Amino acid sequence: MSLASVASKTIIPGVLLPIGVVTAMVGLPVFFSLICSRRRTI
């Protein structure tokens, strides 16, 4: 979470993004890649 906080402060200088938005931007592609990799093995 602290990494997401730092990223939210440095992505767009002067604009503070909510930590949840940054976490979702990183977590969503990871989640979908896990789902797709599991489908291939089944």
pLDDT, one tens digit per residue, over 17-27 is 888 888 888 89
pLDDT at 42 over 60: no
Please check whether residue 21 is in contact with residue 32, taking contact to mean a CB–CB distance below 8 angstroms: no
Query: Where are the chain's structural domains?
Result: 2-41
Q: How many CB atoms lie within 10 A of CB 9?
A: 15
pLDDT at 28: 93
pLDDT of residue 7: 80
Q: For the whole model, what pTM was predicted?
A: 0.56
Each residue of 1-41: pLDDT tens digit? Answer: 788 888 878 887 888 888 888 888 889 999 999 999 877 66
